[in-house]
């Protein structure tokens, strides 16, 4: 009998995908694997609004845009391995360019390029380069979700949001890497390999929109279109020092954005953008809403853009200091304190906000993995890599319930409560959990209104970065501050007492927001300081519970020195305009205070 080499299939698929990707890159290397020219630099420095205006006026062509952003994307791929597929540059004619009096190039003279661009001159996103997470359908290209099994077939039709963007004149130029199944704190897969952080290659760019965030940070795109279920656009934005805002469910077109848990109503996937600049993020949101996306996608709420300006108003901000599971690291806490001090210095009111968090997270974790993780693993091929945190969850579910009850006696109360809750749910139990989720939404809503708060501020993650392989220690719960506002995105690192200590959970605050279905934005505030953010000499990991201990095992201010540190701004449901305005307030007061301090 011949040996079964089925375990080699995902590795062969991965090698094939990487070979095709490299062939496309090699074909474009003569044009894009070069340094930026002076004109490229000017084009690259334009804001979204400026770029569209320059394109409409005929001063910038698609070829000009791709000359600048294509070169940056090429360099980003070399530095971080952030691209999963190349979409457009191969069909864009590279035209000779001439500069006008302002140093901005005139429109290329290539006839084909001219006809192609003439059709786009009046479109609201004309010339804007947009990268796409490799789970959103683009016709003629696979939507892999990081699974090797999905790499062999291209999709027939683009998602409604892609059709909208292309009709608006946007340049959809690349797709970006994701981890297998879109779960994890690191963007690694058998299919694409490992994507690294643009600030420090020893660290993760976050996940699951890790490739897109790394690409943005290195200037290879103006907008990245990602998805979020438990912090998947916010965590990468935080780790890579860019901007993002998770939408409320229904505000942004989501059809054609694939997920490893299709059909899940408990914790739904939302499509949301990331950007290098806050102004570009806001402008992109506004222009997409002005295009009436609900006419493209039946899941989208028909709600036009409502401009907000807080220039003359002082706001009330609530601070969420803990997600109830993992305390903020010194670096994350310092970033939040910088924001608090800057807001107070400009006359804003800042108060502590203490709504229920652990209960929301507990409900969200159970809804997210109500099937015991079966769907996430269903598309994995034999021998294929997936996040150790996800495997830990699956192992936790596989334990007999009576054994988990016995193990719970040896754990602190919160950890024991979560461990007992991790078992496959029946249909009736799922409905009960959905009902419980709605109760917690109402509790948050009522408390928010009673205290008269405009926005909530918290960390997007307990720690500012995850080193390579760190998910095996930190777990998914490290992102808990982001999941909270989706409902609660949690990472459970399972390990028996005889192996490494019990049970570790780690993504809470991110999933918390998903469960509550609140819009949440992330913006960079500072960077990790080896001096300011070191753990005190008296710190002892043993003082923490098992769920927090894993995160602090990988927290090292010395090694993390220079990594971006962000804060998260949370608003009320379907008030994305206000969240972006609130982010702008924070950005401006922090810059003002820092400028005065100098």
Residue ranges of domains in the chain, CATH in brackets: 20-90+125-295 (3.90.1300.10), 317-597 (3.90.1300.10)
Report the range of poorest mean pLDDT among 124-138, 244-258, 268-282, 485-499: 485-499
Q: What is the reported pLDDT for 484?
A: 57
Q: Determine the Cα–Cα distance for residues 554 and 298; give it in Å rounded to an integer.
A: 44
Residue 413 near residue 429 (C-beta atoms within 8 A): no
The token pair that represents 104 in the structure block? 């901005």
| Residue among 391, 389, 399, 440 nearest 422 (CA) | 399
pLDDT tens for 159-169 read: 999 999 999 99
Alpha helices in 462-545 (DSSP H): 471-474, 480-483, 508-516
Q: Which residues are catalytic?
A: 133, 208, 232
* Cross-strand partners of 566: 524
Overall average pLDDT of the 324-330 stretch:
89
Q: What is the reported pLDDT for 116?
A: 46
Judge whether 562 is annotated as a binding position: no
**If pLDDT is split at 50, 70 and 90, which confidence band does 199 have?**
very high
Q: What is the reported pLDDT for 500?
A: 33
pTM summary value: 0.92
* Cross-strand partners of 493: 504
Q: Taking the chain, what is the end-to-end CA distance rounded to the nearest angstrom?
A: 75
Judge whether 229 is annotated as a binding position: yes
pLDDT tens for 360-399 read: 888 988 998 899 989 999 999 999 998 887 888 788 888 8
Judge whether 230 is annotated as a binding position: yes
Whether the predicted pLDDT of 502 surpasses 80? no
Say which residues have a Cβ less than 8 Å from residue 418's Cβ, sequence separation at least 6: 362, 365, 490, 492, 503, 505, 547
Judge whether 372 is annotated as a binding position: no
Judge whether 484 is annotated as a binding position: no
Judge whether 169 is annotated as a binding position: no
* Cross-strand partners of 280: none
Overall average pLDDT of the 466-482 stretch:
69
Q: Determine the Cα–Cα distance for residues 108 and 97; give it in Å rounded to an integer.
A: 5
| Residue among 247, 289, 232, 96 nearest 575 (CA) | 247
Whether the predicted pLDDT of 469 surpasses 50? yes
DSSP track, 164-204? HHHHTT-EEEEEE---GGG-SSS-EETTTEE---SS-TTB-
Q: Determine the Cα–Cα distance for residues 216 and 181; give it in Å rounded to an integer.
A: 22
Q: What is the reported pLDDT for 549?
A: 83
- Tell me which residue has tokens 């140093």: 103
């Amino acid at each position: 009998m011949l040996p079964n080499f089925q375990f080699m299939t995902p590795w062969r698929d991965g090698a094939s995908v990487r070979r095709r990707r490299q062939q496309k890159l090699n074909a474009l290397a003569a044009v894009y694997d070069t340094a930026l020219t002076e004109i490229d630099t000017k084009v690259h420095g334009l804001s979204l609004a400026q770029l569209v205006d320059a394109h409409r006026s005929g001063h910038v062509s698609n070829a000009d845009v791709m000359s600048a952003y294509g070169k940056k994307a090429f360099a980003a791929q070399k530095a971080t391995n952030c691209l999963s597929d190349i979409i457009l540059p191969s069909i864009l004619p590279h035209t000779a360019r001439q500069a006008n009096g302002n140093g901005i190039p005139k429109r290329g003279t290539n006839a084909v390029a001219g006809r192609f661009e003439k059709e786009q001159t009046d479109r609201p996103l004309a010339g804007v380069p947009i990268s796409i997470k490799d789970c959103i359908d683009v016709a003629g290209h696979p939507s892999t979700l990081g699974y090797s099994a999905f790499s062999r077939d291209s999709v027939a039709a683009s998602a409604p949001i892609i059709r909208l963007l292309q009709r608006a004149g946007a340049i959809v130029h690349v797709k970006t890497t994701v981890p297998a199944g879109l779960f994890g704190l690191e963007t690694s897969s058998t299919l694409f390999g490992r994507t690294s952080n643009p600030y420090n290659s020893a660290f993760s760019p976050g996940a699951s929109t890790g490739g897109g965030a790394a690409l943005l940070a290195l200037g290879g795109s103006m907008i990245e279109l990602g998805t979020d279920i438990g912090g998947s656009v916010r965590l990468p934005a935080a780790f890579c020092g860019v901007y993002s805002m998770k939408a409320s469910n229904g505000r942004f077109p989501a059809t054609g954005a694939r997920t490893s848990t299709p059909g899940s109503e408990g914790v739904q996937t939302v499509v949301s953008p990331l950007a290098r600049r806050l102004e570009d993020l806001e402008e992109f949101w506004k222009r997409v809403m002005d295009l009436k996306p609900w006419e493209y996608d039946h899941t989208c709420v028909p709600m036009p853009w409502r401009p907000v300006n807080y220039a003359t108003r002082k706001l009330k901000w609530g601070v969420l200091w803990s997600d109830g599971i993992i305390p903020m690291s010194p670096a994350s806490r310092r970033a939040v304190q910088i924001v608090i001090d800057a807001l107070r210095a400009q006359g804003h009111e800042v108060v502590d906000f203490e709504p229920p968090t652990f209960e929301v997270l507990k409900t969200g974790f159970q809804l997210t993995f109500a099937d015991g993780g079966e769907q996430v693993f269903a598309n994995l091929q034999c021998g294929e890599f997936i996040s150790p945190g996800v495997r830990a969850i699956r192992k936790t579910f596989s334990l007999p319930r009576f054994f988990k009850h016995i193990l719970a006696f040896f754990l602190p109360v919160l950890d024991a409560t979560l461990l007992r809750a991790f078992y496959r749910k029946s249909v009736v139990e799922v409905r009960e959990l959905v009902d419980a989720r709605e109760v917690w939404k109402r509790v948050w809503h009522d408390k928010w209104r009673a205290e008269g708060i405009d926005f909530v501020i918290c960390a997007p993650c307990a720690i500012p970065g995850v080193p390579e392989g760190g998910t095996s220690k930190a777990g998914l719960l490290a992102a808990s501050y982001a999941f909270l506002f989706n409902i609660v995105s949690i990472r459970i690192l399972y390990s028996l007492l005889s192996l490494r200590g019990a049970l570790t959970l780690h993504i809470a605050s991110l999933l918390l927001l998903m469960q509550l279905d609140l819009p949440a934005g992330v913006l960079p505030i500072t960077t990790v300081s080896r001096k300011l953010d070191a753990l005190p000499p008296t710190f002892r990991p043993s003082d923490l519970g098992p769920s927090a201990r894993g995160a602090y095992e990988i927290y090292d201010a010395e090694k993390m020195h220079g990594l971006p540190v962000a804060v998260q701004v949370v608003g009320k449901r379907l008030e994305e305009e206000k969240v972006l305005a609130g982010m702008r307030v924070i950005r401006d007061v922090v810059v003002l205070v820092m400028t005065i301090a100098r």
